[in-house]
Amino acid sequence: MARLALLLAALTAFAPSVPAAAAPGPAGSAPKPAARPTAAEARAFVARVNAELLRLQSRQQTAEWVKSTYITDDTEALAAWANEELMAFQTSAIRESLRFRGLALDPDTARMLMLLRVGPTLPAPADPRKRAELAAIAARLEGAYGKGKWCGADGKGPCRDLDQLSEVMSKSRSWDELLDAWTGWGTVARPMRGDYQRLVTLANEGARTIGFHDLGELWRSGFDMPPDAFVAETDRLWGQVQPLYQALHCYVRARLQQVYGADRVPDGKPIPAHLLGNMWAQQWGDLYPLVEPFPGVASLDVSAALERQKVDAVRMVKIGEGFYTSLGLPALPATFWQRSMLTKPRDREVVCHASAWSLDFRDDLRVKMCIRPTEEDLSTIHHELGHNYYQWAYKGLPTLYQNGANEGFHEAIGDAVALSVTPGYLARIGLLDAAPADERATVNFQMKMALDKVAFLPFGKLVDRWRWDVFSGRTPPSAYEAAWWKLRREVQGVDAPVARTEEDFDPGAKYHVAASVPYTRYFLAAIYQFQFHRAMCRAAGFQGPLYLCSVYGSKEAGRRLEAMLAMGQSRPWPEAMEALTGSRRADASALLEYFAPLRRWLDEQNRGRRCGW
């Protein structure tokens, strides 16, 4: 997740449109009209904004880093103050920018003014007291998530944090143990509900001051297309991939029936959320031993290999860095290794949720992560380093351009590179035995991939659908929980394992809701990454099935990739897409091409089953 991109836009504020003040004249005379602004003044204004944003956002990044790696009431307050200072500047900047509406401007000035307007994640009201309140609430919600623990139904412990509860979710096959961990983490979010409701009120007020109906419309406006067109775009992409997801869901549900019984996992019904190996049932990779198509055919246990070889956190990151340098990209700066948080400290509370940072918008790149020797974390490292290399590639651009072409691009880069981490590559670096060519091994490998990549798609789509309805008022606070689980059932085919009430706040048990991070970016990234991968494979001259391609060592693929990264957000995203892929249109056909062998196998396995929910 692109921490820079998130914090770059986070907690900025805008003031309502006001007419330019009339110049005062002599006593008793009519005021003189203000001079009409010029294009030159607009260019100078944008230059000042870029310079001040660089200064304030670097300070904010530092405060946020300390808050996330050393959670206390004091560090939360420091981060809130830094955010409030940034808000105040943005309030003034937007107020002044309204003078330039309607002017004939050069493309760069016009684009930066547009990005200034659509950039905020949480626009605050103009009232300084409300601005301070919003900053404090945002810091408090993220802090509550990071400090969250489940101490048992009686509150007497032992207390377990998210990492420990997630360990249960990934490894246990006991219905009761899984249910305890799942419901326990849900209790962490209940106290957030009041703060979240107030945050929605304040952020909506801020969005309306800059001409948006609500915060959701603002979030949907940063994709170089009208907000309604963006909704249609996500629906179109989901329509392409939905049949593959439904086939995977049907197969996984049937295998879970064999473990837990048809009374607990019935045909034609959603799957209980606590059985899918992940706290949010968003990725199902830890179920692989239960659903492996051909048991024992080819060792794909990368986690076991990492533990067996005693691969530590630094070496895991070095593996990820090595892939990027093989494409011709530079080695990470020395300060990355000195300043990153790669393991969980023993002496303090931290936010372990993995994130990538650029504190100075130049070379101070960092990763914050509590790395474990697992295949999932190895993949996450490639993902986070993708953010860092993106940040580094566009560091020379004006501050307002230092972002991904759209939110999905930033998330897709590292995952596109990780698609080249094939069994053949893993064998090459000694983490797996020699890569087998057996068709059964191919299906096994694709199942392992699909449990993460394909299983994620509906969850990636529905998180913001829930928030868009909350922001618009279609879902009132009295229906937060009910609306969440209605979407989970309808879109994902997953349901709560126990009854939930409006005293619960399960959306807040997901980091991105607690931290107000837009989520549709991850849905887009899950599709873009395959389109990027196919383009890089073609650039590398690869001939063969897409799922076998690794661009490791291809300088041409790296050149094409870096050319797109260096564009940042300076051009509309279809132009950045075209720079790498040759197409201006997002397309899920590469994902379907990649998983074609698995889809054929799933259709055979599901023949005669009652699929759907």
pLDDT at 405: 97
Confidence of residue 92 (pLDDT cuts 50, 70, 90): confident
Pairwise pLDDT comparison (424 vs 501), residue with the higher score:
501
Return the SS3 of 200. Answer: helix
Inter-residue contact 45 to 393 (CB < 8 Å): no
pLDDT at 26: 40
Confidence of residue 436 (pLDDT cuts 50, 70, 90): low
Say how far apart CA 540 and CA 411 lie, in whole Å. Answer: 22
pLDDT at 290: 96
Closest CA to 492 of 192, 278, 215: 278
Residues 567-604 have pLDDT tens digits of 999 999 999 999 999 999 999 999 999 999 999 999 99
Closest CA to 111 of 9, 224, 275: 224
With a pLDDT cut of 70, the percent of the chain lying above it is 94
Q: Whole-number mean pLDDT of the chain?
A: 91
Residues 344-368 have pLDDT tens digits of 999 899 989 899 999 999 999 999 9
Strand-pair partners of 13? 124
Strand-pair partners of 149? 161
Residues 114-130 have pLDDT tens digits of 999 888 888 888 898 99
Helix axes 520-539, 555-565, angle to 10 degrees: 140
Checking if the pLDDT of 435 tops 70, the result is: no
12-21, 104-113, 419-428: lowest mean pLDDT where?
12-21
Pairwise pLDDT comparison (472 vs 211), residue with the higher score:
472
Inter-residue contact 132 to 84 (CB < 8 Å): yes
Helix axes 107-118, 73-97, angle to 10 degrees: 140
Average pLDDT of the segment spanning 202-230: 94
pLDDT at 215: 97
The whole-model pTM stands at 0.87
Binning the chain into helix, strand and coil, the percentages to the nearest 5 are 60, 5, 35
Please tell me what DSSP assigns to residue 489.
I
pLDDT at 357: 96
Average pLDDT of the segment spanning 64-74: 94
Q: Tokens for 150?
A: 């489940």
